[in-house]
Amino acid sequence: MNFIKYLLFTFLFLVSTHLLARDTKTVTFKAFGFSIEKPKSWHDSSSEDFTENLNRVKSSDEEFDALLKKYTQVPFFSILKYKNPYDDINPSLKINVAPKAVVDPEKPELYLESIAKTMKSNFANFKLLSKPVLTKLDGHKSAFIKYSYKLSVEGSTSYDITSAIWIVTHKRQSFIIGAGFRSDEANGGFAELEKIVVSIKFL
C-alpha cells in the first residue's frame, strides 16, 4: 500500500486552482540538504489553501477522488505566482519528499511512467507532452515528465492544466517537484517555473 499511497499524493499536490537575479530569496532546508531561489514577488501557499483546492478536485472516478483525499500529503514547500484568493489557475510550484524506497534512484523515470498511466485513466483529455526522460538537477540524476489534462472542480467548472514533475534522490530522500499552470500559459507558464526549479542546490 505504501507505493500506492505515495503515487497518489504525487498527482494532486502539484495541482493549482493552480532571470533569477537578486529579486529572489534563498530558502534553505537544512534537514533535507538543499536550497531553492524563491522569487520575491511570489507568495507562500498555506496548508489550508492546499486542502481547500484538493477538496474541490473531481476526476472521472469517485473512488479515486476518495483515495486522493485520504492519502495526499501537504507539500513542505509550496509557492504561488499570485496571492490568494485568485480567480483563475494560479501558477504554482510544490515540493514534497517520499522515502527513497518508493523511487528507484537508478530508474526514477519508472515512477513517472506510473503517474502518467494513472492520470490517463482518471482525467479527461490527457496528453503526454514530454515522456519520462532522465536528466540532471544540480548534477544529480533526475527524471522529468510533462503532461496536460482537463481538471474539473466543484460547480461544473473545468480547466485545461499542464503539469511538470521532476524527481531527484539525495541523501536517502526522493524529492518530487511539481509545477502546475494553465495550458495556454496566459498568466504564467513553464519557462518561469523551470527557472525556479533549476535554482535548486543540494548541500
* Number of structural domains found in the chain: 1
pLDDT at 41: 96
Residue bearing the bigger pLDDT, 154 or 188: 188
Residue bearing the bigger pLDDT, 97 or 187: 187
Per-residue pLDDT reduced to its tens digit, 90-135: 999 999 887 667 788 889 999 999 989 988 988 889 999 999 999 9
**Confidence at 15, pLDDT banded by 50, 70, 90:** very low
pLDDT at 125: 94
pTM (two decimals):
0.82
| CATH label of the domain that carries residue 73 | 3.40.1000.10
Q: In sequence order, what are the residues at sequence separation of 6 or more whose Cβ sits closer than 8 angstroms to the Cβ of residue 44?
A: 78, 79, 80
DSSP structure string for 112-167: HHHHHHHHHHHSEEEEEEEEEEEEEETTEEEEEEEEEEEEEETTTEEEEEEEEEEE
Average pLDDT, the chain: 82
Residue bearing the bigger pLDDT, 73 or 185: 185
pLDDT at 102: 78
Q: Which domain holds residue 194?
A: 2-202
Mean pLDDT, residues 143-162 taken together? 87
Contact 198, 97 (CB under 8 A): no
Which of 68-72, 115-119, 167-171 bottoms out in mean pLDDT, i.e. has the lowest?
68-72
